[in-house]
Amino acid sequence: MPFLLAVSASHGQSGGDVNQRVESLLARMTLEEKIGQMSQSTSMNTPLSDAIRAEIRAGRWGSFLNAGSPGDRAEAQRIALHESRLGIPLLFGRDVIHGYHTVFPIPLGQASSWDPELVEQAARTAAAEASREGIRWVFTPMMDIARDPRWGRIAESLGEDPYLASKLAVAMVAGFQGKSLGDPASVAACAKHYAGYGAAEAGRDYNSTWIPEILLRSVYLKPFHAAADSGVATFMTAFNALNGVPSTGNRFLLHDILRDEWKYDGMVVSDYNAVLELIKHGFAANEADAARKAVNAGVDMEMVSTTFFDHLKELVASGQVDQRQIDDAVRRILRLKFRLGLFDREPPAPAAAEPTPQSLALAERVAAESAVLLKNRNHTLPLSGNAGSVAVIGPLADSAVDQMGTWNTDGRARDVRTPLAALRESLGAGRVHYAAGLKDSRDLSHDGFAAAVDAARRSDAALLFLGEEETLSGEARSRAFLDLPGAQNALADAVKSAGKPLIVVIMAGRPLTFHEVAGKADAVLWAWHNGSMGGPAIAKLLFGENVPSGKLPVTFPRTVGQVPIYYAHLSTGRPASESELGIPMGNPEKPTGYTSKYIDVDFTPEYPFGFGLSYTDFQYGNLSLSAPVMRAGGTIVVSADVANRGTREAREVVQFYIQDETASVCQPVRELKGFQAVVLKPGETRRVSFHLGSADLAFYNSRMELVTEPGKFHVWIAPDSTRGVEAEFELR
């Protein structure tokens, strides 16, 4: 009979209660059972094999990844609880990256909403759906700072800025974990990938990263620190080597910072096969060496590969791994299982989690707030609902799978509403002239162009849906060129020749370079890969039922040659000036002046961080400070008027930036320190205020000390990272 600990409601049990139960159980475990808890497998398939049943009874596995059906998971959990010696439950994990069956926009798209509350609601919905099918651990949020759009996993990121990414990551954690991990509808979140993965050299996935410690602490670690402070249940190591030491064997990251500095008591899991890959990195000599280095660095659970189970027993016996290291890892694993209430209730009956009207309505709202209006010449948008007809053209207009985007593991095409379907429903099929033009985003054939041009000529406006397929972004989907793939540029030329207003909607998983297409378009709406309800969201934006309010969470380059490009850069000793703008792209001018620029393209981005237009006009003015001087430990209030000078009620994301004018370590030309969304009626003006404390001015000096230094600071309240109303104050 299994040893079952006393059952009690886990929702309200104290940390002391959990720790007592953990210690009681740990004292009864064999070394083999402990190492089993430190092992996660992908080998549980449908139906459960006799071999897997036997391994569960023997305590061979502590967790399963992407395992079976809801019924299989329930049966496996029953075996673990009632047929294993100690009755230790299994933990089922899955990549629930941006929704479960209800698919929300990709995380980079959600970041464009700049709406932490909305992002939290999306995560809460995903948690409810996943947990209903037995998933209690999700490998998200990914909070790698990403400043290189060649890297495919930028789609999973929350953008380039540590402040915005931190706020949204904490919101996601709150949504997934709820008020209590013991709630059956809550799941354990996972802060990944720790750390520096988004800075992969040349934007090539899994590649090495070289990040000076001062930059690591100032930028790349900030979202992880915020997530740790917010109580995220787990961390995942990164695939990359950081400064020559793979993250999965990096004791500086996993022990010195995470455990000692941040006092994090949650569980750390490796990424998929990352322990075994220490050998390929040239960091470990063999599997036993890989297991030793990963455990001693601070990895608690090994994902997929089996070096822990195969070698830790002998490593403990030889003294190469301390028994206390094993016990600490298992404590953290068991503590999580107790906090999730897995010991204290029977496995739920198998159940399917279908999207609901409420979840789909939320998905549509997130998709609407995530869309960014990049261009709107002569107020082309919104289109009039009384307009005669529209042409719907392009390979992304009616592709349910591509609309869901990368890592749509449990999304289903039958639940997706595409733009074509939504426009036909809202306008009537007779007013929508559809021609795909291209079979997919990579199609080089022009065979469909004639039908596309004919559809445009028969319509009052042409809606051209371009971008990249879902398979072109995400993990292992790095791109050396960021142009629209296939013959999409040529398709845009052909449709433009019809002479009708051209509205381009781009659905993609990363920033792309589309300068020529944007020049031909009358309006450009950037929609990302926007999930189950992206179609209705786009349709309502195009026809003015909703007003675009998204702001870019990442800088868009003019050309791939500018990468990496991001707003919070340092100044050089010879900064370029606006007087040097106007260089035709790709056409070198006669070099003039010795400043930090290009001779064949402007040094500025195509679209800056924080940028996004509206159907109304917002005006910023009358900035004031509560005091011209801030004392150490003090606070000042920075305020400005934001006025709606247009004709539409709309939401505006108001951004707050600072610059430390002079410091012992050079500081960025601007840093985001706050943002607020306001909804203003036509003619309405609102005073928007930000509180800035001296702690917000702190930075890491050359000795890795977090310090504030006296001096002058600039502040901006702004619509994006390049504009705004400005003032300065002094810190004494």
**What is the three-state SS of 366-401?**
HHHHHCEEEEEHHHCCCCCCCCCCEEEECCCCCCHH
Q: Is the pLDDT of residue 2 over 70?
A: no
Mean pLDDT is lowest, of 34-48, 207-221, 282-296, 443-457, for 34-48
Angle (nearest 5°) at CA 79 between 78 and 80: 90
- Residues 239-258 have a mean pLDDT of 98
CA distance linking residue 122 with residue 173, whole number of Å:
11
- Residues 42-62 have a mean pLDDT of 94
15-26 and 323-339 are packed helices; what angle lies between their axes, rounded to 10 degrees?
130
SS3 621: strand
Rounded percentage of the chain residues whose pLDDT exceeds 90 = 93
| Domain assignment of residue 493, yes or no | no
* Tokens 């004392």 -> residue: 631
Return the DSSP state at 219.
I
Read off the CATH number of the domain in which 641 is found.
2.60.40.10
Q: With bands split at pLDDT 50, 70 and 90, how would you rate the model's confidence at 11?
A: very low
For the purposes of burial, counting CB atoms within 10 Å of the CB of 442, is it exposed (0-12), middle (13-18) or buried (19 or more)? middle
| Domain assignment of residue 413, yes or no | no
Rounded CA Rg of the chain: 27
| Domain assignment of residue 276, yes or no | yes
β partners of residue 706: 700
Q: Which residues contact 17 (CB under 8 A, 6 or more apart)?
A: 8
- What HEC string does 528-589 produce? CCCCCCHHHHHHHHHCCCCCCCCCCCCCECCCHHHCCCCCCCECCCCECCHHHCCCCCCCCC
Which strand (E) or helix (H) includes residue 590? none
pLDDT in tens, 365-419: 999 999 999 999 999 999 998 778 999 999 999 999 999 999 999 999 999 999 9
What domain range includes position 246?
20-339
| pLDDT value at residue 10 | 34
| pLDDT value at residue 587 | 84
Q: With bands split at pLDDT 50, 70 and 90, how would you rate the model's confidence at 13?
A: low
Domain boundary among 315, 339, 363: 339
| Entry pTM | 0.96
* Structural contact between residues 314 and 51, judged by C-beta atoms closer than 8 angstroms: no
- Quick count: other Cβ atoms within 10 Å of Cβ 386? 6
* Tokens 């064949």 -> residue: 600
SS3 523: strand
* Structural contact between residues 133 and 351, judged by C-beta atoms closer than 8 angstroms: yes
For the purposes of burial, counting CB atoms within 10 Å of the CB of 454, is it exposed (0-12), middle (13-18) or buried (19 or more)? middle
| Exposure string for 699-732, b = 16+ CB within 10 A, e = fewer | bbeeeeeeebeeeebebbbbbbbbebbebebebe
| Domain assignment of residue 359, yes or no | no
| pLDDT value at residue 346 | 83
Rounded percentage of the chain residues whose pLDDT exceeds 70 = 98
SS3 337: helix
Read off the CATH number of the domain in which 246 is found.
3.20.20.300
CA distance linking residue 15 with residue 335, whole number of Å:
9
CA distance linking residue 359 with residue 356, whole number of Å:
5
CA distance linking residue 392 with residue 310, whole number of Å:
57
How distant is the alpha carbon of residue 458 from its chain centre?
41
CA distance linking residue 34 with residue 28, whole number of Å:
10
pLDDT in tens, 460-472: 999 999 999 999 9
Q: Which tokens is 632 given?
A: 């150490």
| Domain assignment of residue 287, yes or no | yes
Angle (nearest 5°) at CA 412 between 407 and 416: 100
* Structural contact between residues 511 and 555, judged by C-beta atoms closer than 8 angstroms: yes
Number of domains making up the chain: 2
| Domain assignment of residue 450, yes or no | no
| Domain assignment of residue 629, yes or no | yes
Angle (nearest 5°) at CA 565 between 201 and 717: 140
pLDDT in tens, 628-645: 999 999 999 999 999 999
Q: Beta 234-237 vs 91-94: how paired, if at all?
A: unpaired
User: Which residues are part of the catalytic machinery?
Assistant: 271
| Domain assignment of residue 360, yes or no | no
Q: Is the pLDDT of residue 12 over 90?
A: no
- Residues 636-657 have a mean pLDDT of 98
Q: Give the phi and the psi of residue 535 in degrees, each rounded to 5.
A: -60, -55
- Residues 140-151 have a mean pLDDT of 98
For the purposes of burial, counting CB atoms within 10 Å of the CB of 368, is it exposed (0-12), middle (13-18) or buried (19 or more)? buried
Domain boundary among 272, 305, 339: 339
SS3 528: coil
- Residue type (1 letter), 36: G
* Structural contact between residues 458 and 416, judged by C-beta atoms closer than 8 angstroms: no
| pLDDT value at residue 345 | 84
- Residue type (1 letter), 515: H
Domain boundary among 339, 367, 388: 339
CA distance linking residue 396 with residue 401, whole number of Å:
10
